[in-house]
Chains A and B, each alone.
Chain A
Amino acid sequence: MYDFSIITTAIDQFLRSLMPSALATFLECVLIAVCVLVAYVLLAIVMIFMERKVCAAFQCRLGPMRVGFWGLLQVFADVFKMIIKEIIDFKRTDNLLYNLAPFLVVLSSVLTFSCLPFANGIEVLDFNVGLFFIMATSSFGVLGIMLAGWSSNNKFSMIGAMRSGAQMVSYELSIGLSMLTLVALSGTLQLSEIVARQADMWFIFKGHLPALTAFIIYLIAGNAETNRGPFDLPEAESELTAGYHTEYSGMGFGFFYVAEFMNLFIVSGIAATIFLGGWMPLHVPGLDAFNATMDYIPGPVWFFGKTFFVIWLLMWIKWTFPRLRIDQVITLEWKYLMPIGLVNLLIMTLCVVMGWTF
């Protein structure tokens, strides 16, 4: 397996040899922040392009084909358009909160994004409560959405924000429960440790039935948490124009748009990490030659491969099902997903205690 900590340690050593330790730490923080933000934006662009192409394929279309070869420059053109658009101020809105709201959403999303373990040795934030910290940071994104809805001084935005709040607060529970199921299996909250413990087998195979159930619950709840797919009623175009970001133009809207796509990436990345082994290659116990061959494929390829597979699954769900009503959304969570998740957690604990896992 490739160990990327060699590179990062080398950079660290180099910087420390040039300047005092505190300055080196500060410089590294800035460097990492820049890297995270660039990766965030680039991945968002990739995701938007993928969304358009995958959506088109599910609807038997081709998607963008004109700008650049195979439409590759389309998203760059869109981003450029969004940057040069005017940002409009409204007379009777709370301008401070109106301008703050997109940053709160992006802040929550970037913090969560930097927790993902991209490869062996490339973990930006990695401490003993990793998974819990992810839940913590993703939980205040809803606040930005609610502030956006309120400060827009618009009925549609308000309704969208309230729907979004009710939906995201509810579905956080199912996400937490299905994560907890896997934490019971792994015995740790630290993300790098979770990945390391899947060296012999991925958790979705190790935990067989309860892990698979948790995976399905996680996919459904994750889709709802990102306000996408059949759960996009906070921004239901046909009834609320654009929901909570109706009044936003230019990059204000851009932040919401990017954060929505990156939340999808984060949800998929966490699913890939805790269910499908993160950057850990596919290992089958007993087949040593096969395992050694798999180790030649570097960690980032595995991580991004798995993540984009999960993203594809979520897009498949999104472009298949019609939008749910708000009462159906809440019913699905409180009457079906959460009880099933609780029972599933119990079954998983039983399996772990009795040693019924692989």
Chain B
Amino acid sequence: MKRERYTYLSTVTFALKSLLSGLKVTLTEFFTPKVTEQYPENRKTLKISERHRARLTMPHDENGANRCIACGLCQNACPNGSISIVTKSVTDEETGKSKKVLVSYEYDLGCCMFCQLCVNACPKNAIEFCNDFENAVYDRKKLVQKLNR
């Protein structure tokens, strides 16, 4: 127990050493570039992480078609009931079988909690979350969006 024998002086030197190491950390922090994002001014350079979930979207290809098969799995998966799907049955003329087709895909941003269960449930990857986070509107009705075109 060396430190026991020289308690007083070793305590002082140990304290000084540890305090100096702490001071070194903050000093390097003082001179590193600051991490603050000044949000409205920095819109052009703002980088949002790819994984950020801001709003549900339904991507459409260049023909205006989406991949949704109106199976309703996302509607069932949603714990808040923020997705409601309106379907209709269409009879295929070639095969004669009836098939569900999407009429409107309504998504209520106001009660979405961004859990991503709907995206995980979708068998066709028809829906996904986008980074577009500036979603504030003046009327609650505007939060209910129709995702399909």
Contacts and interface: CB of A to CB of B under 8 A. Distances in A.
A321 B22 contact: yes
Given A316-B27, A336-B12, A61 B36 contact: yes
Contacts of B35: 60-61
A321 B25 CA distance: 11
B38 A58 contact: no
A57 B25 contact: no
Contact of A62 (B12, B32, B34): B34
A153 to B, nearest CB: 39
A298 to B, nearest CB: 28
A320 B25 contact: yes
Contacts of A24: none
- Please indicate which of the listed interface residues B25, B32, B34, B38 has the most CB atoms of chain A within 10 Å of its own CB: B34
Contacts of A336: 11-12
Contacts of A319: 26
The B contact surface, by secondary structure, is helix
Interface size bucket, B side? 10 to 19
A65 B27 CA distance: 22
A256 to B, nearest CB: 27
Nearest to A220: B19
Contacts of A61: 34-36
Given A61-B35, A62-B36, A65-B38, A317 B23 contact: yes
A224 B26 CA distance: 20
A21 interface: no
Contacts of B29: 57-60
A58 B22 contact: no
Interface string A267-282: 0000000000000000
A321 B19 contact: yes
Interface in A216-246: none
Contacts of B38: 62, 65
A289 B36 CA distance: 45
Interface string A315-358: 01101110000000000000010001000000000000000000
B30 interface: yes
A57 B19 contact: no
A316 B25 CA distance: 11
